[in-house]
């Protein structure tokens, strides 16, 4: 089967949105809240969604080369600063827990190739990410590898606990957190984020810096909806924490100087932060940026009754 990829027209955008609501999406849970409200669903299907996909984003569909009108898959691209990425993508059936057949792999490859070529020709974003569920089929990830994409060490593992924690102390001595004005602090936060990574011996300084630039470009988009706090010890900056409340869940993502990973100071900080930033949260989700940091701090995190989970979502990247 030969698939042709083209810019989605008005009717094809409508079909792609209908597919999303039918669960044919890279992340079906993202549509759940819209499904529960009939009026929000109607607004998204007939007004907000079409406007987003045709005016604010770029949407593509794969169709039969034979001329059939059936959509074999879709790809919707969004943009934020230096980053281009997938808002959503899908083949003609849900891939959740499914292995794609050869035709579906071909469609995915055609969509990705066309999207990357289009970005290089029409946009100036230096980085592109492709989002997918962590448990996606190996055949899907193999297509990404064929296109030179790589999986960054970026929030791949997380720790979760019921709130409130059994321990609820004050911050450790000489440690303070101070809320920052997000737009003014974003660049500084991204610099502090880099301390959460230690250069692997096999990587050159240049390659390591390039990888961190890509991760920073990806993370910048998340800073718009979060509260940011600078962490200081004895008036020295030692890291930052990013707070996001979602329903009854407190989500904390933080970076810390490597020499403090696994320390009593870090344990005291982690024990105190939920009470400081989300005392009524029923669920606490803790993330570092790098897996190396979380592994180094595993013992103290477990001592606070957190449990480990694989992050549900992966973002594969490539430089354009």
In the block, which residue shows the tokens 């593992």? 157
Residue 180, number of CB atoms within 10 A of its CB = 16
In the block, which residue shows the tokens 């321990």? 167
Q: Please say if the pLDDT value at position 277 is more than 90.
A: yes
Confidence of residue 1 (pLDDT cuts 50, 70, 90): low
**Among the ranges given (28-42, 97-111, 287-301), the one the predictor scored with the smallest mean pLDDT:** 28-42
Q: How far is CA 96 from the centre of its chain?
A: 18
Q: Please say if the pLDDT value at position 150 is more than 80.
A: yes
CA-based max dimension of the chain:
71
Contact yes or no for 243/278 (Cβ under 8 A): yes
* Burial class of residue 248 in the structure, from the number of CB atoms within 10 Å of its CB (0-12 exposed, 13-18 middle, 19+ buried): exposed
Say how far apart CA 111 and CA 30 lie, in whole Å: 21
pTM of the model: 0.91
Q: What distances in angstroms separate CA 319 from CA 78, 169, 191, 200, 291, one per listed residue?
A: 16, 44, 20, 20, 22
* Mean pLDDT value across residues 186-213: 91
Contact yes or no for 72/105 (Cβ under 8 A): no
Angle of helix 102-122 relative to helix 138-146, nearest 10 degrees? Answer: 40
Q: How far is CA 280 from the centre of its chain?
A: 25
* Mean pLDDT value across residues 58-69: 88
Summarised one tens digit per residue, pLDDT across range 130-144 is 999 999 999 999 999
Domains of the chain: 3-146 (3.40.630.30), 157-312 (3.40.630.30)
C-alpha triplet 190, 194, 199: angle, nearest 5°: 160
- List helix spans (H) across 79-137: 102-122
Confidence of residue 2 (pLDDT cuts 50, 70, 90): confident
Residue of 187, 171, 78, 92 whose CA lies nearest to 125: 78
């Amino acid at each position: 089967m030969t698939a042709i990829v083209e810019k989605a027209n008005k009717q094809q955008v409508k079909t792609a949105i209908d597919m999303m609501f039918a669960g044919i999406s890279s992340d079906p849970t993202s549509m759940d809240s819209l499904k529960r409200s009939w009026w929000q669903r109607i607004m998204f299907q007939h007004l907000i969604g079409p406007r987003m996909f045709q005016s604010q984003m770029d949407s593509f569909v794969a169709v039969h080369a034979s001329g059939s009108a059936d959509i074999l898959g879709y790809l919707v691209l969004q943009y934020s600063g230096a980053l281009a990425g997938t808002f959503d993508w899908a083949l003609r059936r849900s891939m959740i827990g499914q292995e794609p057949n050869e035709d579906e792999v071909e469609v995915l490859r055609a969509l990705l190739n066309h999207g990357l070529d289009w970005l290089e020709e029409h946009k100036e974003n230096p980085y592109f990410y492709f989002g997918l569920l962590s448990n996606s089929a190996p055949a899907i990830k193999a297509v990404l590898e064929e296109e030179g994409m790589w999986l960054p060490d970026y929030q791949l593992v997380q720790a979760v606990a019921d709130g409130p924690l059994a321990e609820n102390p004050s911050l450790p001595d000489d440690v303070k957190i101070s809320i920052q004005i997000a737009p003014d602090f974003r660049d500084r936060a991204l610099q502090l984020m880099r301390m959460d990574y230690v250069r692997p011996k096999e990587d050159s300084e240049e390659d390591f810096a390039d990888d961190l630039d890509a991760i920073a470009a990806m993370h910048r988009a998340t800073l718009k909806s979060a509260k940011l706090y600078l962490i200081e010890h004895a008036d020295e900056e030692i890291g930052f924490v990013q707070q996001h409340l979602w329903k009854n869940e407190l989500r904390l993502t933080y970076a810390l100087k490597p020499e403090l990973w696994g320390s009593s100071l870090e344990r005291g900080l982690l024990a105190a932060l939920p009470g400081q930033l989300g005392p009524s949260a029923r669920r606490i989700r803790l993330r570092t940026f790098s897996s190396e940091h979380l592994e180094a701090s595993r013992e103290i995190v477990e001592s606070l009754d957190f449990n480990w989970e694989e992050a549900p979502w992966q973002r594969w990247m490539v430089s354009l």
